[in-house]
Structure 1
Amino acid sequence: MASRIHQPTRQRLVALLAADHLDGSGLIQRLRQLRRLEGVATCSAMLHLLTHLELPEDEAEQLLVELNSHRSEVGATLGRDPGLPVAAVDYLSNVRGLLRNPTIVELDELETTERSAVTDSLTGLHNRRYFDSALDIETRRSMRYGLGLSLLLLDLDLFKPINDLHGHRLGDLVLARVGGLLRRAVRDADVACRFGGEEFAVILPETGRLGAFSLGERVRLLVQKAFEEPFEGLAIELSVSGGVATFPRDGETAEMLVERADRAMYLAKKEGRNRIVLYHSERRRFVRFPVRSNARVWLRAGGSSGIEMRPINLSRSGALLSTTGPTRTEGTVELKLRMREREWVVSGKVVRSGRRSLAVRFDRPLPEDCFEGHVRRSVAPRAARS
């Protein structure tokens, strides 16, 4: 039914209704385009928005054509455009007799009502109701047009103790602060929502695993930095953990994406919190990143002084190194990474030796801060074998 149209679509219809530059034929054309794009009964929805009448899509489209024709006739008589809402009231009340005692509502008031119904009052983000509608629409759109789509779920680490120790008022201020940080971090095309409690979600249209992971990292660092200083006069340690799932690789329905992003988020909590984890069905643990073209490492095996090599990709558990030709390096090796004034040395074992590459598995995970400056986080990461 038109009254049950998804909320994001309703907001697009409100925007169309407010577009003064659209004449009758232009409005119908845009409604048809939106119907093809989102697979919903847009003419029925627009008619319901204007009049609260419920009609099938074909009848609603025909009635909208009649309304626009009446709008043109009234405009020619008055010498000015009365607009669709006024023309609709006159036509449906005085010509067709479908409305009795109609009430005209200001479009601004309607938009405010629509917005409040889908907005979380505490954080200013979209609420769970809007999230469910938007994710369903974006999933179907991605399926229809073969577009990328990712979902990022975020959860504040150890938030309950903040509430218990300092009270719900401070907890609400923390949530509002995080909501503001999230709004700053996302693009206009992204849909940032309060998922529930201390959980947040971001729908990322036309975005792969890389973009979603990069956004998650950006939000994580923003939250971490924002609470390094006293908040409301109190020292609060706050971080965020997140999980990423991508369509269609990780799930082909909205429900599957939520379930798998949630599973990845749980893994982030389990591995120590304050991190973003990609969902993966394989036996994988750490994200593998492409490496900056100017990055270099030094490999030492046995009693050698060390060979400078270029890393192809790097994870906390290992590295793939580029070689100029076949190499006989095998067994235990030592890898040195240097960035600015800092240096990291890690031991490991050669697990694969090819014609132009060498794979090393580290004996212990590489520190997270070693990645800054070495890897390209704006290129799609992969999950590395543990």
Structure 2
Amino acid sequence: MGPRHLRRAVQDDIREVLGDPAARGDCLAESIAALGARHSLEPFRAVLSASADIDCPEPQAREIVLAIDGRRSLLADLLGRDPGFAVASCDLLHEAEGTLREPVFRQEGSVPPEPERPGDGVAAPTLQEAQRLETRRAERSGRPLAVVVLSADLPGGLSTEAFGPALAALRASARDVDYVAGAPPGDLIVLLPCTGGREGLRAAERFRATLVKATGCGWRAGVAVGQGSGANARLLEDCAKRSVEEARRAGTGAALHRPERRRHPRSSVGPAIAARLRRDGVESETVVEEMSLGGALLTLRARLDPGTEIVLALRPPVARPAVLIIPARVYRVSDGPLPGVAPWRAAVVFQPEVRLRVAGLLAGLDAPRGGNPTA
């Protein structure tokens, strides 16, 4: 969370609270806590982010904000006037990463410290710590959490020499609020708070483009999203890794993990059942990849919009088969190996009254002749 991620109304209220000379000590803590109820956010974290551009968990942010207020009183005694919250924060946080490297006020005769080496400062949390933190934060706020896993398209993965530059490039392209780390054995992982599925896919494509420029090789991305109690960062990482493999099998750059929605077990079909699709009097060939009592996954030569009513004409692999007519509705459509061009993949749902025919088809039986329409 950085200052630019806070709404203007939030920033204005924070400035008003910090600029009130009467808001000190317990009064300041109460005023900041009221911001949380007013704007539905973690108030001390937001105040610290807006005033010092530092992001940390809410309990730690509260301690730092109150410590800054205490330093403000000490500086007021030293100067004979109130230095303000911003000056006090600079003086207290001079050793923190991303803030001033020297205190605003030094003791007389003190020697300025030597410049720090690049990378010195506050230690970044480990991947496991970040996962626990973002999981708790998503559960508490009810907001979505996206996890992106990126894997190089190289046999054996990325070399050790190229891994460091790739990680640095990925961190440079991420938001301040995102967490970027290496995921053994050779993948990269990004935690994106307050990010849904579409935003996660767009971010994954941006990360892929960055890594291609940094490494010169192709990358695949898997995205998994959870919300509220379903936003377990570790489980989402596993789902995102499976999505990477799905993208690799499908030949796409990125894939979004979709939770299983079917109530019935799926059966692989493929070319075993000849299938044709009818819509608005036009008939075309299609491939049924998978089927269950509730629906099917099709490969289409022409894209159909979700909600489109279609009819499937299916010929089971038996002697003298009758053609089964299955009305269906398009539920979801996604790109195939190449975005925006054929073939497409479509999930369709069946009406409950046709499930007996589907069950007979899946069992490899002849459909009952009585009452079943044929082509």
After TM superposition, the score normalised by the length of structure 2 is 0.49
Q: State the structure with bigger RCO (CA 8 A, min sep 6), 1 or 2.
A: 1
